């Protein structure tokens, strides 16, 4: 077991291609790795407050996905390299850990669990899957985002992404006037990375259970009771497609993660009390 300490420490884990991955460790107990979604990093997003809510029960590892924060970004991008990054953090955690992922990070965590040994339990929150006609597919949205990044129009890329995930135009306009917009633009170049992870599962087609038939890791798939139907449909379908999985809807929750609502559910699951 890792040395127990509630004081956060940081280190750089080296991925297979030599990319340094900045990760933070805090808390005490069994190792737990948190995988962020689009536009999030150690400096911005829900994983920081969630880590604090879990640190009394777990040694929590948060990391900057490649291209974000203090991590490197070796070209060319490939989803497999992001799985390698999780492997590097897993080794920093001692070679065995639970893993939690949210949104595109949920799909990345699932890919890691399917490939890497050492992931003991897996929890996924609101993987952004479109499995029916309850909302339009996103091929055009991701093409718009990729072109905006290619043209160095970061603000346009962020706006296109937020519109695609359902944020009202008025709220996007207000956000552009706040300091958060500059932070979002700073990591906008990684949006195509998230697109590479999820776009193939946002076509409005049913999931293929054979894709994960060999996955034996105990898995918890959760979504929010206030999230739109397409999100609920996708996560329920994912739970049905995975072999060793429990599905749970968290009442009153949506894609804006609230640690107080999630921490008890995750603690129970990761400690085998689900």
Residues 87 and 187 in one domain: no
Which of 187, 146, 141, 190 lies closest to 166, judged by CA? 141
For the chain, how many structural domains are there in total? Answer: 2
The whole-model pTM stands at: 0.96
Residue 5 has a pLDDT of 46
Say which residue the tokens 């291209």 belong to: 67
Say which residue the tokens 């939690």 belong to: 100
For 138-203, give the secondary structure using H, E and C. Answer: CHHHHHHHHHHHHCCCHHHHHHHHHHHCCCCHHHHHHHCCCHHHHHHHHCHHHHHHHHHHHHHHCC
Residue 219, domain member (yes or no): yes
CATH of residue 122: 3.40.50.1820
> Rounded to whole angstroms, how far apart are CA atoms 129 and 232?
9
Mean pLDDT by 10 residues, the chain (274 residues): 61 97 97 98 96 97 98 97 98 98 98 97 98 97 98 98 96 96 97 98 96 95 97 98 96 96 98 82
Residue 1 has a pLDDT of 34
Residues 22 and 125 in one domain: yes
> Rounded to whole angstroms, how far apart are CA atoms 67 and 247?
32
**Residue at a domain's end among 177, 198, 219:** 198
Residues 57 and 176 in one domain: no
Residue 2, domain member (yes or no): no
Residue 2 has a pLDDT of 40
Residues 108 and 233 in one domain: yes
Residues 236 and 114 in one domain: yes
Residue 3 has a pLDDT of 41
**Residue at a domain's end among 150, 176, 198:** 198
Residue 249, domain member (yes or no): yes
Look up the domain containing 35 and give its range. 9-130+207-271
Residue 110 has a pLDDT of 98
Residues 169 and 217 in one domain: no
Residues 106 and 25 in one domain: yes
């Amino acid at each position: 077991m890792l040395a127990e300490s509630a004081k956060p420490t940081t280190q750089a884990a080296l991925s297979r291609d030599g990319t340094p991955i900045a990760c933070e460790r805090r808390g005490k107990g069994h190792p737990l790795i948190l995988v962020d979604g689009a536009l999030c990093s150690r400096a911005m997003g829900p994983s920081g407050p969630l880590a604090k809510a879990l640190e009394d029960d777990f040694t929590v590892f948060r990391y900057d996905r490649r291209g974000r924060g203090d991590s490197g970004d070796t070209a060319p991008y490939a989803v497999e390299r992001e799985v390698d990054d999780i492997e590097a953090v897993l080794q920093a955690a001692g070679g065995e850990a639970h893993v939690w992922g949210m949104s595109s990070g949920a799909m990345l965590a699932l890919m890691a669990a399917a490939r890497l040994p050492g992931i003991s339990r897996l929890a996924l929150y609101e993987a952004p899957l479109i499995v029916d006609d309850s909302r339009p597919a996103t091929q055009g949205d991701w093409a718009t985002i990729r072109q905006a990044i290619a043209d160095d129009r970061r603000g346009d890329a962020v706006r296109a992404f937020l519109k695609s995930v359902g944020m009202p135009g008025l709220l996007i306009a207000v956000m552009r006037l706040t300091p958060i917009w500059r932070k979002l633009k700073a990591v906008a170049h990684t949006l195509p990375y998230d697109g590479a992870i999820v776009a193939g599962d946002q076509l409005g087609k049913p999931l293929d259970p054979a894709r994960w038939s060999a996955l034996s890791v105990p898995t918890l798939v959760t979504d929010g009771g206030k999230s739109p139907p397409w999100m609920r449909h996708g996560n329920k379908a994912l739970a049905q497609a995975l072999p060793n999985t429990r599905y749970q809807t968290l009442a009153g929750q949506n894609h804006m993660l609230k640690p107080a609502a999630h921490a008890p559910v995750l603690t129970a699951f990761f400690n085998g009390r689900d």
